[in-house]
Amino acid sequence: MDRLQLLYDLDLAGLTSLMQEWGEPAYRASQVWQGQYRNLWVIPEQFTSLPLPLRTKLAEVFLFSSLHPAQEFVSQNGETHKTLFRLHNGDAIETVLMRFRKRRTLCISTQSGCGMGCVFCATGQMGLQRSLSAGEIVEQVLYYARKLAVVNEKVTNVVVMGMGEPFHNYEATLAAIRRLNHPAGFNLGARRFTISTVGLVPMIRRFTEEDHQINLAVSLHAANDELRSALIPINKKYSLDVLIAACREYVAKTHRRITFEWALIRDLNDSRSHARQLADLVQGMTCHVNVIPLNPTQRYAGQATTMERAREFKLELESRGIPCTIRIRRGIDIAAGCGQLAIQA
């Protein structure tokens, strides 16, 4: 028997067309949409604004949920939550909620595993299992939106920095964000989203041409090709000069700031000279650098830098006019930190 289609895989236009095909008034599509994205309903019985025959038909044709929470993890300080979801085909993903003083930020996945092979990243060490549909990406956000609603809280930010390379699943990633941004539904502002890429240059250029208000972050981690290629294999295809040119085009066309991410690895990329190389690379660009001491993974022997060296790195950048933030390491005790998401065999 064929698997039912996931209801979240339809956008509002798709729902409207479906209602027309079924001989229903167009406003039924808006009722379904608002039930999903505003009321956060997840089972057919909750859609009481719809007549029973329509609810029954939707339940026969669509899955209302496809992510099955298999395990939940909470950090010792209670600020980070992680959920391991099983997908319909047995693959799995992880999604993380980070609680800050005023923000509730979700780190969501776009793929099960990742094909980019970054050596210090646990997800990259898994290899790629498959890409997610737009609905499966959306569903991660709505799952946590329901959990937060129980305590009268809301999702305030979404970072597309979980498992997978978002620009390797470009269409589904952007479709998911459009649905979550839709003013008649979840209505999370475009600037509340950040997409992180390791540097798929054609997709950066496409993203630039489409002129989104979504924030863009690039995982850089090295300012010379030899080191970056050793850490991030895709650099062999899209070298730093090509990548940085695309980043400059993005800033020039969109007039938006770009973020560069840098995992500080002890004695490898954490010295003042590395900071100077980075400053030279991005000089004159409207950008911000986020640095974070490397989070540990089982298959990479590199160690996190010290906070002292992290502060020196930051000061060196700032002395050359490059704004920099040392990011707080979160959820390390539950393997929920940047680069730590992975499904053990």
- End-to-end CA distance of the chain: give it in Å, rounded: 28
The pLDDT of residue 345: 39
User: Which tens digits make up the pLDDT trace of 153-195?
Assistant: 999 999 999 999 999 999 999 999 999 999 999 999 999 999 9
The pLDDT of residue 107: 95
User: How many Å is the Cα radius of gyration of the chain?
Assistant: 21
User: Which tens digits make up the pLDDT trace of 242-274?
Assistant: 999 999 999 999 999 999 999 999 999 999 999
The model's confidence at residue 336, banded by pLDDT at 50, 70 and 90, is very low
Judged by DSSP in three states, 13 sits in helix
User: Which tens digits make up the pLDDT trace of 306-334?
Assistant: 999 999 999 999 999 999 999 876 545 54
| CATH no. for 5-63 | 1.10.150.530
Tokens 């400059």: give the residue: 248
Whether the predicted pLDDT of 299 surpasses 80: no
Residue span(s) of the chain under CATH 3.20.20.70 come to 68-334
> Catalytic pick from 94, 136, 261, 316?
94
Residue span(s) of the chain under CATH 1.10.150.530 come to 5-63
Superfamily (CATH H level) for 68-334: Aldolase class I (3.20.20.70)
User: Which tens digits make up the pLDDT trace of 89-146?
Assistant: 889 999 999 999 899 999 999 999 999 999 888 787 788 999 999 999 999 999 999 9
Question: What is the spatial distance between Cα 291 and Cα 125, in angstroms, rounded to a whole number?
Answer: 22
The pLDDT of residue 335: 47
Tell me the DSSP string of 16-79: HHHHHHTT--THHHHHHHHHHHTS---SGGG-TTS-HHHHHHHHHHEES---EEEEEEE-TTSS
- Tell me whether residue 338 is one of the annotated catalytic residues: yes
User: Which tens digits make up the pLDDT trace of 209-239?
Assistant: 999 999 999 999 999 999 999 999 999 999 9
Question: What is the spatial distance between Cα 103 and Cα 80, in angstroms, rounded to a whole number?
Answer: 12
Whether the predicted pLDDT of 344 surpasses 70: no
- Lowest-pLDDT choice from 76-80, 251-255, 286-290: 76-80
> Catalytic pick from 121, 287, 324, 338?
338
The pLDDT of residue 330: 58
- Tell me whether residue 316 is one of the annotated catalytic residues: no
- Phi, psi dihedrals of residue 203, rounded to the nearest 5°: -75, -35
The pLDDT of residue 332: 57
